[in-house]
Structure 1
């Protein structure tokens, strides 16, 4: 008798887990926007009855909302998402991946955040090069003057970029110089990564990429930096994918999931 009861308990546990996973599959499907019940059933290979039962259960707990276009994320998930975002320590998420990137490349690795038209470096992992970048955590720079700062701007439109550049450099900036900078930024935007050579005469070069939070917004940026002696054009191109990949891994740790529909 006890063996039979134990087996029944196992079966119930398995069925419960399957139900939970199916409910989570439904939530995954509606992340990108409302989806009708019929479409959910087709995508998840579920019966219409099962789909309706699970969706209604999720709706009753506010994890789903019913709209004219189908089921969408409910207020409970929006509340949980906001709480998770507020509690996320981006530097803590980034630190182990920064160390790994520095170990692989030998370069100093930084993360920083945007403060209006400025960027502030938050964390640094020192590389192995003899000539090292002197920037330290807490340092603040005009956002248009560093690779990390430019990466924080990759979601901005051209009008906003022009305003920021004029604010930093002065309204009397010559038109050709402005056009050249905007063209440079368009190149960074199209690549999704910044290849930066400092124009301040310090011989610093950097590769930077944005890190996104669970809402898809740029929350911090990641960069590797070093002397031009080490970061030649070829080296910058060869390392750009690695920097982007690490930034994507940090983004995933911050809750970001690219939406593909």
Structure 2
């Protein structure tokens, strides 16, 4: 009886090791096609073991063969698409939003792009007496909000100009459009947006994008408050905290940095 238990335990260990080796192989293939011999060398396994594992993964469509070696197969690509579609960004972001609000005292928002508009998806109310009136579900022209600008950081300058003019009813002057484009260039260089509301409500925000597994901007996160609370001297440390929160959320939804 004891011998049977020992044999089962040994089989479990071997099975786990085989699984981990297969996962190591897929981690290597993420960066591009690679030959079995190179996999064996990089992962410290025999060529026979590497060949056996890649053939098993290929038989289940997790890998495919190209002229440059083994690459991601259709099964993995299918799973990747399904995983992306099923991500609940608000649910993933919520704990990080709460922590950011607790540390800063400010309202924290996340929002997404809807065509030429930004939609606020969720809010964590800060501890300050003066609170930002924006609520989940509110939709604004995308070039008009800090969240919206963060969602646009990957767009071309011509798109920035077009969306700014559109947000102002086509009445923006060429000088105003140029100033907005210059402003967006600065935001993009820093990776974060410092936004002062144009609505006369005295609200200031700091926003930064959150990226998905493909490196594309999925949503954005921001802190917001009255300008006399979110002051210039506090901005660097606050921007760092917002960007760190965005990095953690991005990692939680599969982003691993530029490839």
Q: What's the TM-score once normalised by structure 2's chain length? A: 0.94
Show the counterpart of 2:75: 76
Partners of 1:57 and 1:242 lie apart in 2 by 45
Given the alignment of the two structures, is residue 10 of structure 1 paired with residue 44 of structure 2, yes or no? Answer: no
Q: CA deviation at 1:4?
A: 2.3
Show the counterpart of 1:190: 189
Matches within 5 A, 1:207-246: 207-246=206-245
- The answer to whether the 8 Å contact 2:144/2:167 transfers is no
Partners of 2:186 and 2:39 lie apart in 1 by 39
State the SS of the aligned residue for 1:52.
helix
- The answer to whether the 8 Å contact 2:109/2:122 transfers is yes
- The answer to whether the 8 Å contact 2:120/2:138 transfers is yes
State the SS of the aligned residue for 1:100.
helix
Partners of 2:179 and 2:44 lie apart in 1 by 53
Q: CA deviation at 1:150?
A: 0.6
State the SS of the aligned residue for 1:249.
helix
Show the counterpart of 2:163: 164
Partners of 2:258 and 2:51 lie apart in 1 by 24
Partners of 1:245 and 1:220 lie apart in 2 by 15
Partners of 2:144 and 2:80 lie apart in 1 by 34
Show the counterpart of 2:179: 180
Given the alignment of the two structures, is residue 64 of structure 1 paired with residue 59 of structure 2, yes or no? Answer: no
- The answer to whether the 8 Å contact 1:109/1:125 transfers is yes
- The answer to whether the 8 Å contact 2:108/2:221 transfers is yes
Show the counterpart of 1:114: 113
Partners of 1:38 and 1:240 lie apart in 2 by 46
Q: CA deviation at 1:83?
A: 1.4
- The answer to whether the 8 Å contact 2:144/2:164 transfers is no
Q: CA deviation at 1:225?
A: 0.4
Q: Which of 45-54 and 170-179 deviates more? A: 170-179
> RMSD of the alignment, in Å?
1.5
State the SS of the aligned residue for 1:123.
strand
- The answer to whether the 8 Å contact 2:97/2:124 transfers is yes
Matches within 5 A, 1:16-95: 16-95=15-94
Q: CA deviation at 1:259?
A: 4.6
- The answer to whether the 8 Å contact 1:212/1:218 transfers is yes
- The answer to whether the 8 Å contact 2:215/2:258 transfers is no
Q: What's the TM-score once normalised by structure 1's chain length? A: 0.94
Matches within 5 A, 1:109-148: 109-148=108-147
- The answer to whether the 8 Å contact 1:32/1:259 transfers is no
Show the counterpart of 1:247: 246
- The answer to whether the 8 Å contact 1:31/1:73 transfers is yes
Q: CA deviation at 1:170?
A: 4.3
Partners of 1:194 and 1:37 lie apart in 2 by 45
Q: Tell me, which stretches of 5 or more residues in structure 1 are unaligned? A: none
Q: Which of 28-37 and 63-72 deviates more? A: 28-37
Partners of 1:50 and 1:222 lie apart in 2 by 46
Q: CA deviation at 1:171?
A: 4.2
Which runs of at least 4 in structure 1 moved beyond 3 Å after TM superposition? none
